[in-house]
Amino acid sequence: MTENFVKVASKADVPEGSVKVFTVGSHQVALCQIEHDFFAVADLCSHDGAPLGEGELVDHQIECPRHAARFDVRSGKATCLPAVLPIPTYQVETRGDDLWVSVQKQTN
Protein backbone atom coordinates (compact mmCIF):
# COMPACT_ATOMS: atom_id res chain seq x y z
CA MET A 1 0.00 0.00 0.00
CA THR A 2 1.42 3.36 -0.92
CA GLU A 3 1.62 6.27 1.47
CA ASN A 4 -1.15 8.56 0.35
CA PHE A 5 -2.29 9.60 3.77
CA VAL A 6 -3.05 13.21 4.53
CA LYS A 7 -3.75 14.77 7.89
CA VAL A 8 -7.45 15.55 8.01
CA ALA A 9 -8.47 16.31 11.56
CA SER A 10 -7.74 15.67 15.19
CA LYS A 11 -9.48 12.90 17.10
CA ALA A 12 -11.31 15.53 19.12
CA ASP A 13 -12.95 16.81 15.92
CA VAL A 14 -14.81 13.50 15.51
CA PRO A 15 -16.36 12.54 18.85
CA GLU A 16 -17.62 9.04 19.56
CA GLY A 17 -20.86 8.36 17.69
CA SER A 18 -20.57 11.36 15.39
CA VAL A 19 -20.03 11.86 11.66
CA LYS A 20 -18.06 14.82 10.32
CA VAL A 21 -17.33 15.71 6.71
CA PHE A 22 -13.92 16.84 5.49
CA THR A 23 -12.48 17.68 2.11
CA VAL A 24 -9.52 15.46 1.25
CA GLY A 25 -8.09 16.46 -2.08
CA SER A 26 -11.05 16.35 -4.46
CA HIS A 27 -13.04 14.00 -2.21
CA GLN A 28 -15.71 14.72 0.36
CA VAL A 29 -15.08 12.23 3.12
CA ALA A 30 -17.39 11.39 6.01
CA LEU A 31 -15.34 10.46 9.08
CA CYS A 32 -16.94 8.76 12.03
CA GLN A 33 -15.94 7.29 15.35
CA ILE A 34 -17.57 4.06 16.53
CA GLU A 35 -16.46 2.25 19.66
CA HIS A 36 -13.17 4.18 19.63
CA ASP A 37 -12.35 3.20 16.04
CA PHE A 38 -12.38 5.69 13.18
CA PHE A 39 -13.85 5.00 9.74
CA ALA A 40 -14.01 7.01 6.54
CA VAL A 41 -16.50 6.67 3.71
CA ALA A 42 -17.51 8.77 0.75
CA ASP A 43 -19.97 11.51 1.63
CA LEU A 44 -22.18 10.38 -1.21
CA CYS A 45 -25.01 7.89 -1.16
CA SER A 46 -24.88 5.37 -3.99
CA HIS A 47 -28.67 5.49 -4.35
CA ASP A 48 -29.34 9.12 -5.25
CA GLY A 49 -26.31 11.15 -4.17
CA ALA A 50 -27.42 12.39 -0.77
CA PRO A 51 -24.75 13.57 1.67
CA LEU A 52 -24.15 10.65 4.03
CA GLY A 53 -22.35 12.89 6.48
CA GLU A 54 -25.75 14.27 7.41
CA GLY A 55 -26.95 10.79 8.28
CA GLU A 56 -26.93 8.97 11.57
CA LEU A 57 -24.91 6.03 12.81
CA VAL A 58 -26.67 2.81 13.71
CA ASP A 59 -24.17 0.30 15.09
CA HIS A 60 -21.49 0.13 12.38
CA GLN A 61 -23.80 1.48 9.71
CA ILE A 62 -24.44 4.96 8.43
CA GLU A 63 -28.01 5.76 7.45
CA CYS A 64 -28.69 7.99 4.50
CA PRO A 65 -30.72 11.06 5.48
CA ARG A 66 -32.76 11.00 2.26
CA HIS A 67 -34.29 7.53 1.88
CA ALA A 68 -32.78 5.67 4.85
CA ALA A 69 -30.52 3.24 3.03
CA ARG A 70 -27.72 1.99 5.23
CA PHE A 71 -24.08 1.20 4.56
CA ASP A 72 -21.55 -0.67 6.66
CA VAL A 73 -18.77 1.85 7.31
CA ARG A 74 -16.22 -0.97 7.54
CA SER A 75 -16.85 -2.37 4.08
CA GLY A 76 -18.99 0.21 2.28
CA LYS A 77 -21.57 -2.46 1.51
CA ALA A 78 -25.20 -1.46 1.25
CA THR A 79 -27.07 -3.21 4.04
CA CYS A 80 -30.54 -1.76 3.59
CA LEU A 81 -32.62 -0.80 0.56
CA PRO A 82 -33.12 1.30 -1.45
CA ALA A 83 -29.36 1.36 -2.04
CA VAL A 84 -27.83 -1.76 -3.55
CA LEU A 85 -24.41 -0.52 -4.65
CA PRO A 86 -21.56 -0.06 -2.17
CA ILE A 87 -19.91 3.24 -1.34
CA PRO A 88 -16.14 3.83 -1.30
CA THR A 89 -14.35 3.38 2.00
CA TYR A 90 -11.01 4.92 2.86
CA GLN A 91 -8.22 3.95 5.21
CA VAL A 92 -7.87 5.92 8.41
CA GLU A 93 -4.77 6.02 10.57
CA THR A 94 -4.46 7.60 13.97
CA ARG A 95 -1.10 9.23 14.53
CA GLY A 96 -0.94 10.69 17.99
CA ASP A 97 -3.99 12.91 18.32
CA ASP A 98 -4.44 13.27 14.57
CA LEU A 99 -6.47 11.43 11.97
CA TRP A 100 -4.89 10.71 8.62
CA VAL A 101 -6.89 9.47 5.66
CA SER A 102 -5.91 7.92 2.37
CA VAL A 103 -8.40 8.63 -0.37
CA GLN A 104 -6.93 5.87 -2.46
CA LYS A 105 -10.01 3.72 -3.04
CA GLN A 106 -10.13 0.49 -1.12
CA THR A 107 -10.63 -2.76 -2.95
CA ASN A 108 -12.97 -4.45 -0.45
Interface residues with ligand FES (CB under 6 A) are 45, 47-48, 50, 64, 66-67, 69, 82-83
> What are φ and ψ of residue 45, in 5° steps?
-70, 135
Kindly tell me which of 8 and 45 has the beta carbon lying closer to ligand FES. Answer: 45
Q: Kindly state the smallest distance separating residue 8's Cβ from ligand FES, in Å.
A: 23
Q: Kindly state the smallest distance separating residue 64's Cβ from ligand FES, in Å.
A: 3
Q: How far apart are CA 14 and CA 107, in angstroms?
A: 25
Q: How far apart are CA 21 and CA 99, in angstroms?
A: 13
Q: Kindly state the smallest distance separating residue 66's Cβ from ligand FES, in Å.
A: 4
Residues near 91 by Cβ (< 8 Å), separated by ≥ 6?
Answer: 1, 5, 40, 101, 102, 104, 106
Kindly tell me which of 47 and 76 has the beta carbon lying closer to ligand FES. Answer: 47
